Amino acid sequence: MDVKAALQQRKSVRAFLNKPVETQTIHRILDAARHAPSGTNAQPWQVAVVSGKKKKALEEKLITAFQCGDEEKMDYLYYPLEWIEPYRSRRRACGLQLYTALNITRAEKDRQRAQWQANYTAFEAPIVLYFFIDPAMKTGSFMDYGMFLQSIMLSAVEEGLATCPQAALGQYPEIVKKELRYEGMTLVCGMAVGYEDKGALVNSYRTPREPVEVFTRFID
């Protein structure tokens, strides 16, 4: 597949078909992604591929924590403590697109909460990837990780699969690390992987991207 086409085709999918993904397919995706660059070739990624009974058991614990109002605390600060422009407006527009696609109004807090809870099942995708990093590694290795994650998502497109990278799956790190036996590691995020349900309303929209002129200066 053409790289530019894969970049444009990739999107965050939030509804998946009840269709299994073969282990060999995930292996091919990771085998391609392992060629992502990393500073000094450190290759700081550690991946757990979770499915079946283990996925179900883990998501039940995450949902219980969410419903009980347990404090969400990622292993690192993903978002700013205070949003400023233009990021605040982009964030709000993103959320509005989601709720508009699902016909969820601002007053329907229960439906909003139910949609957020769907994060913890990886939107019913058959596979969820959890990504870990040794806490000894610092900011540069998170840059490496971003390139690795993008490589996975683009490779998934080539395989006919859809993905959704999820910071939400890192909100209860102690539960995840204990269940998957990754104690002592830093949980980076999770990623839903499966076949897109193209008839689902939640998959019917695309978030916009700024044109090159907005974020680029050509200096000579």
Q: Could you give the dihedral angle defined by the CA atoms of residues 178, 179, 185 and 186, in that order, rounded to the nearest 10 degrees?
A: -100
Predicted confidence (pLDDT) per residue in 102-129, tens digit: 999 999 999 999 999 999 999 999 999 9
Collapse the DSSP code of 96 into the 3-class scheme (helix H, G, I; strand E, B; otherwise coil) and give the result.
Answer: helix
The mean per-residue pLDDT over the stretch 169-184 comes to 98
Maximum distance among all Cα pairs of the chain, rounded to whole angstroms:
57
Q: Which pLDDT value is given to residue 72?
A: 86
Specify the residue for token string 């000894």: 136
Distances (CA, A) of 52 to 30, 48, 58: 19, 13, 10
pLDDT score, position 1: 84
pTM for the predicted model, two decimal places: 0.96
- Report the percent of the chain where pLDDT is more than 90: 99
With beta carbons less than 8 A apart as the criterion, state whether 206 and 11 touch.
Answer: yes
SS3 content of the chain, % helix, strand, coil (to 5): 50, 15, 40
User: Mind listing the pLDDT tens digit for each residue in 125-172?
Assistant: 999 999 999 999 999 999 999 999 999 999 999 999 999 999 999 999
- pLDDT at residue 23 tops 90: yes
20 Cβ contact partners less than 8 Å away, ≥ 6 residues apart: 126
Kindly list the domain boundaries of the chain, sorted by start residue: 3-82+120-215
| CATH fold of the domain at 3-82+120-215 | NADH Oxidase (3.40.109)
CA 82 to chain centre: 22
- Taking only Cα atoms into account, the Rg of the chain, rounded to an integer number of angstroms, comes to 18
**pLDDT of residue 74 exceeding 90:** yes
Residue-level pLDDT at 173 = 98
